[in-house]
């Protein structure tokens, strides 16, 4: 059985490989410094990427009970289900073995019904409050509580921006273009990927009285080096992230009442389902991986989230560590001048012929496959999976 890729989107997954992927992340945090942090954690966007890694870090690097909200498909008539579906199940199994609460809500994070369900669960079965909320949703669509549907657009402000990128399906380098967004598209992208929904979670949880004294909340952001600004920071996504940063400051003030804090966390660029989707960005990631691996600075989601919890958000001594703008920076290694200089040198030399070797294309592929349970050592991929069996075991 093989991973099927269409465009830059994976179409299937392998449960056994996903299970091993969860185990691998758990092993990492269990052997890298105990987190004396939160005990009751809610993760919105918990089934993959940064959200999943956050959940693993607090549960297995520390001892947190967790609630995870995510939007995933179960195996059934329409196919074998999504990777995140299995991640939720394998996470829960390991957490239960450890004696931790691990509750999965497969539900739309943008809906008030979901928020009310989660609040009821916190009150009835989760001890009545939470002390950390991680907001890690990546989505192209948001249906607001008033029923309006917004879609985000990957695009630039000002002039169209073109450059080399690669297509995962054909494994060829292609020229990619980000078109300028309209004012409307820009505003809608901010609606989907900005801070409004995060704010609404905090407002409703706060009104329900389920935020513990000293409560913290984080949401994930990206800034990147100058070379990526036209396609990210200065584009529609960047506008959404700027809104998210402003929301963090607003929430921080609002949470003072309970000695709480809110932070935007600027993360490193890495391979996830969401980042594979951004034109030209994966090529930058291959160059970055090459350099960071050479300098032994490479991190994936789990290293980043472990470092976030251990050093920045719950430091053994002193205050939460931020930059001048009150943001937590996990992109410090990515943005190191020596790293970016080396990336720039590689970038100038990229051609359609050499792009697979000049950057860490193999490493990119391995991680992309692993997100879906493929390319894991010790998994037998030779046989096909039995859908009926999957439904029986996992739905
Ligand atoms: P991901 O695609 O791996 O995870 C997204 C999560 O959101 C999944 O758990 C998915 O089920 C959930 N989700 C999507 N729509 C939902 C909905 N309507 N209701 C409930 N759950 C929903 O993405 P990734 O990369 O982990 O992104 C998380 C955050 O990290 C995003 O804000 C992203 O911008 C940010 N980030 C990502 C970076 C990267 O290079 N991958 C770098 C810096 C920040
Ligand atoms: Na996530």
The ligand minimizing its distance to the Cα of 267 is 1
Residue 51 CA: which ligand 1 atom is closest? 26
With a pLDDT cut of 70, the percent of the chain lying above it is: 100
Please give the DSSP secondary-structure letter assigned to residue 79. Answer: B
Position 34 confidence tier, pLDDT thresholds 50, 70, 90? very high
Decide if 102 contacts 15 (C-beta within 8 A): no
How many angstroms is it from 152 CA to the middle of ligand 1?
A: 14
Residue-wise pLDDT for 260-286, tens only, equals 999 999 999 999 988 999 999 999 999
Element (H, E) at 42: strand 40-44
Position 316 confidence tier, pLDDT thresholds 50, 70, 90? confident
Backbone φ and ψ of 305, nearest 5° = -75, -30
**Ligand 1 pocket residue status of 289, Cβ below 6 Å:** no
Residue-wise pLDDT for 99-117, tens only, equals 999 999 999 999 999 999 9
The overall pTM is greater than 0.90:
yes
Residue with CA nearest ligand 1 atom 28: 136
Instruction: Give residue 247's pLDDT.
Output: 98
Backbone φ and ψ of 175, nearest 5° = -80, 130
- ipTM value for the complex: 0.98
Position 48 confidence tier, pLDDT thresholds 50, 70, 90? very high
| Helix, strand, or coil (residue 59) | helix
CA neighbor of 103 nearest in space, from 151, 137, 69:
69
The distance of Cα 237 from the centroid of its chain, to the nearest Å, equals 14
Rounded CA-CA distance 316/184 in Å is 45
Lookup result for tokens 């695009």 = 155
- The arithmetic mean of pLDDT across residues 339-352, rounded, is 96
Which residue among 25, 137, 279 is best mutated to probe the pocket of ligand 1, counting the most ligand atoms within 8 A of its Cβ? 137
Decide if 70 contacts 106 (C-beta within 8 A): yes
Residue 82 CA: which ligand 1 atom is closest? 11
pLDDT at residue 288 above 90?
Answer: yes
Residue with CA nearest ligand 1 atom 18: 108
Position 134 confidence tier, pLDDT thresholds 50, 70, 90? very high
Residue with CA nearest ligand 1 atom 24: 49
Q: What is the mean pLDDT of the chain?
A: 96
**Ligand 1 pocket residue status of 46, Cβ below 6 Å:** yes
Q: In 3-state terms, the chain is what percent helix, strand and coil (to 5)?
A: 45, 20, 40
The ligand minimizing its distance to the Cα of 194 is 1
Lookup result for tokens 């985000």 = 152
Instruction: Give residue 331's pLDDT.
Output: 97
Could you tell me where the beta strands, DSSP code E, fall in 7-101? 9-10, 40-44, 65-70
- The arithmetic mean of pLDDT across residues 179-200, rounded, is 97
**Ligand 1 pocket residue status of 71, Cβ below 6 Å:** yes
How many angstroms is it from 387 CA to the middle of ligand 2?
A: 26
Whether the CA torsion 302, 306, 308, 309 is positive or negative: it is positive
Lookup result for tokens 């999965």 = 104
381 given a catalytic annotation: no
Rounded CA-CA distance 205/252 in Å is 15
- The arithmetic mean of pLDDT across residues 223-244, rounded, is 94
Position 78 confidence tier, pLDDT thresholds 50, 70, 90? confident
How many angstroms is it from 318 CA to the middle of ligand 2?
A: 28
Element (H, E) at 346: helix 337-349
Angle at 315 between CA 311 and CA 320, to 5 degrees: 95
Residue 48 CA: which ligand 1 atom is closest? 3
Of 50, 86, 232, 289, catalytic: 232
How many angstroms is it from 103 CA to the middle of ligand 1?
A: 19
Instruction: Give residue 342's pLDDT.
Output: 98
Instruction: Give residue 224's pLDDT.
Output: 96
Residue 46 CA: which ligand 1 atom is closest? 9
pLDDT at residue 218 above 90?
Answer: yes
The first and second tokens of residue 347, run together, are 């970038």
Strand partners, 104: 68
The ligand minimizing its distance to the Cα of 372 is 1
């Amino acid at each position: 059985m093989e991973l099927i890729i269409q465009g830059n989107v994976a179409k299937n997954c392998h449960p056994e490989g996903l299970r091993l992927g969860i185990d691998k992340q758990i092993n990492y945090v269990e052997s890298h410094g105990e987190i004396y942090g939160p005990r009751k954690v809610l993760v919105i966007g918990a089934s993959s990427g940064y959200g999943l890694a956050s959940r693993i870090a607090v549960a297995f690097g520390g001892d947190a009970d967790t609630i995870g909200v995510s939007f995933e498909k179960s195996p059934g008539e329409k196919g074998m289900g999504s990777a995140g579906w299995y991640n939720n199940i394998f996470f829960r199994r390991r957490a239960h073995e450890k004696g931790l609460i691990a509750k999965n809500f497969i539900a739309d994070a943008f809906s008030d019904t979901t928020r009310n369900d989660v609040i009821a669960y916190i009150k009835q079965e989760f001890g009545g409050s939470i002390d950390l909320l991680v907001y890690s949703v990546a989505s192209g669509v948001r249906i607001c509580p008033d029923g309006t549907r917004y879609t985000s657009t990957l695009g630039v402000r000002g002039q169209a921006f073109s450059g080399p990128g690669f297509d995962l399906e054909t494994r060829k380098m292609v020229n990619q273009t980000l078109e300028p967004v309209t004012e409307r598209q820009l505003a809608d992208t901010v609606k989907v990927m900005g801070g409004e929904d995060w704010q609404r979670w905090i407002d409703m949880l706060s009104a329900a009285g389920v935020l513990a004294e000293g409560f913290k909340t984080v949401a994930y952001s990206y800034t990147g080096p100058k070379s990526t600004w036209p396609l990210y920071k200065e584009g529609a996504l960047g506008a959404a992230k700027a809104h998210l940063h402003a929301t963090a400051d607003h929430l921080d003030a609002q949470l003072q009442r309970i000695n709480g804090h809110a932070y935007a966390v600027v993360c490193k660029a890495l391979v996830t389902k969401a980042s594979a989707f951004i034109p030209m960005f994966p090529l930058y990631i291959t160059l970055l991986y090459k350099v960071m691996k050479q300098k032994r600075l490479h991190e994936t989601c789990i290293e980043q989230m472990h470092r976030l919890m251990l050093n920045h958000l719950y430091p053994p001594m002193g205050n939460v560590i931020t930059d001048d703008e009150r943001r937590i920076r996990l992109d410090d290694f990515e943005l190191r001048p020596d790293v970016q200089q080396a990336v720039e040198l590689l970038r100038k030399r990229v051609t359609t012929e050499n792009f697979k070797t000049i950057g860490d294309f193999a490493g990119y592929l391995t991680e992309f496959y692993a997100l879906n349970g493929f390319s894991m050592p010790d998994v037998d991929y030779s046989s096909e999976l039995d859908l009926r069996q999957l439904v029986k075991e996992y739905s």
